[in-house]
């Protein structure tokens, strides 16, 4: 049972756009990590996704989401980057103004020498088509402890102003 | 283009200009996305065509539209 839930760092994009949000030198003193992301990108459409990488690695990721858009319920098995690195929806630049996505990713045992599994849930809100609600299971098949996290746009767009990310540490003792 | 870097040991967030390698990686990632999208769209097209072909063959066997719809949704 987690007895602490401590904010490690939170950051908001103040520039017009950035290519990524990076958390470096992540303390190795917690049991689990929780990542909360709110993002809008300059993608030429209503929808985008948040892609993650650990320790600058974009390889060996798999993500299996179940998601719905209000019309259909779908599932997928992504094994190829960048879709394999999705952790959340993101709002594209033609979506309803001033709307951002929200997503939470739980990363247990991030310092272990086993492969790193994680789970995500997210909502890509907007007052039009392109809304999506989903959750999924991911794995990074790498035994290294996670010391850095990078968040980018799934389709290579830039992250827009006022997007934010917060990293929390969880201790089991 | 800059990236937003947060050093969790100091709490300091800085905007850092991408290196040439990072710019190249970003371009490679965008290309990977385009390639993946093209493959996905091709798979979707193939799936739609296969469904239409299957429905056509079922109709040739004498099934009604309602019966085909009940089978394939």
Residue A53's nearest CA partner among A13, A82, A30 is: A82
The beta-strand segments (E) located in chain A are 4-12, 17-18, 20-24, 32-38, 47-54, 61-68, 73-75, 86-91, 102-108, 116-124, 132-140, 149-153, 159-160, 164-171
Place of tokens 């937003």: B4
Between A113 and A126, where is the model more confident?
Answer: A113
- Is pLDDT of A2 > 70? no
Domain with A10 in it: what CATH number? 2.60.120
Please count the structural domains in chain A: 1
Closest-CA residue of chain A to B36: A80
The domain segmentation of chain B, as residue ranges, is 2-72
- Domain range for A27: 4-171
pLDDT tens profile A54-67? 999 999 999 999 99
pTM score: 0.89
Q: Is residue B73 scored above 80 in pLDDT?
A: no
Give the separation between CA A33 and CA A81, rounded to whole angstroms: 22
Q: Which of residues 138-167 of A touch B (CB under 8 A)?
A: 152, 154-156, 158-159, 167
Predicted complex ipTM exceeds 0.95? no
Computed over every residue of chain A, the mean pLDDT equals 94
pLDDT at residue number A57: 94
Cβ distance of B3 and A22 shorter than 8 Å: yes
Contact B3 A82 (CB under 8 A): no
- Spatial distance between the Cα atoms of A86 and A102, rounded to a whole number of angstroms: 13
């Amino acid at each position: 049972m987690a007895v602490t839930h401590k904010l490690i760092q939170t950051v908001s994009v103040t520039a017009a756009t950035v290519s990524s949000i990076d958390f470096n030198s992540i303390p190795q003193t917690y049991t689990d990590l929780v990542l909360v992301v709110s993002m809008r990108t300059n993608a030429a459409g209503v929808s985008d996704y948040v892609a993650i990488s650990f320790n600058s690695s974009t390889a060996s990721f798999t993500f299996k989401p179940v998601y719905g858009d209000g019309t259909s319920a779908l599932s997928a098995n992504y094994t190829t980057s960048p879709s394999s690195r999705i952790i959340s929806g993101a709002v594209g630049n033609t979506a309803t103004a001033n709307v951002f996505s929200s997503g939470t990713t739980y990363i247990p045992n991030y310092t272990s020498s086993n492969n790193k599994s994680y789970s995500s849930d997210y909502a890509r809100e907007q007052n039009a088509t392109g809304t999506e609600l989903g959750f999924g299971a991911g794995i990074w098949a790498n035994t290294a402890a996670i010391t850095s996290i990078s968040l980018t746009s799934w389709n290579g767009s830039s992250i827009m102003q006022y997007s934010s990310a917060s990293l929390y540490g969880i201790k089991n003792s | 283009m800059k990236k937003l870097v947060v050093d969790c040991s100091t709490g300091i967030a800085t905007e850092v200009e991408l290196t040439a390698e990072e710019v190249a990686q970003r371009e490679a990632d965008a290309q990977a996305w385009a390639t993946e999208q093209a493959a996905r769209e091709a798979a979707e097209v193939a799936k739609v065509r296969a469904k239409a072909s299957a429905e056509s063959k079922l109709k040739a066997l004498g099934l009604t539209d309602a019966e085909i719809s009940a089978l394939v949704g």
